[in-house]
Amino acid sequence: MKSLNFAWHVALATADAIVLALFIAPELITSATTTQLGLYRALGAAVLPIAVLLLMNVMSSNFKAMLVYWKPYGWLPGCEAFTKFGPADHRVDMAHLKKNVGTWAEEPKEQNSKWYKLYKQVETTPEVAYAQKDFLMYRDMAVLSLPLIVLAPLGLYIADASTKALWIGAAMFVVQYVLTAISARNAGERFVCNVLAVHSAKQFTTPKATAPAKATSSGGSAAA
């Protein structure tokens, strides 16, 4: 899952670099020599994957969630699993869910803890696994886009691009960050609800009462 998402993250970074070079600051390409263009390609192929890898792993999952949801550190989508996301999803029968998994607390941390235990029971279910993959992919794309709001204009400035290119570059990454953050939120909600929907759909059965042992005649034992 991580390797598949990493490929998408590198593809996004590569596309960003191409857009910056060809459309926002084309003078950096038109004024470059053949040797410089070859150097740019080599540096891009070598540096971009390393830069993406470092940015993706330097932050904790709680901090990444804070950048996506704009809520305090430690807030995760599972914190509102039973009070917000589950009741709003028409697939989730909350009454049936309670019969299957028991009661839950209202406190966000306890909700997330309860939801995580449920997730671990169904993490290999296709709809859960795919939803988790999408959430992690969009979340990390948003995290990757945010520092580029500053780093891209700084790089363009060092490369002697025009002032207009600097502002357009910053605006591009602001839009990219907002779009990927919204996509991550939607994917996170879908991830949380898919876990609840799977547990809600399980058939609840009450344990059968144990039948009393039959009495044996003449005082003999049942094993005789």
List pLDDT tens digits, range 86-116: 999 999 999 999 999 999 999 999 999 999 9
Give residue 76's pLDDT: 92
Helix (H) or strand (E) holding 18: helix 2-19
What per-residue confidence (pLDDT) applies to 149? 94
Q: Name, in order, each residue with C-beta under 8 angstroms of 108's C-beta and a sequence gap of 6 or more.
A: 75, 79, 80
Q: How many CA atoms lie within 13 A of 148 on its CB side?
A: 26
Q: Which ranges of the chain have pLDDT less than 50?
A: 205-211, 213-224
Tell me, what's the pLDDT at 118?
Answer: 96
Total residues belonging to the chain: 224
pTM over 0.85: no
Please name the residue ranges forming H helices in 20-125: 27-30, 34-57, 61-69, 86-88, 94-101, 108-122
Question: E-strand spans in 76-180?
Answer: none
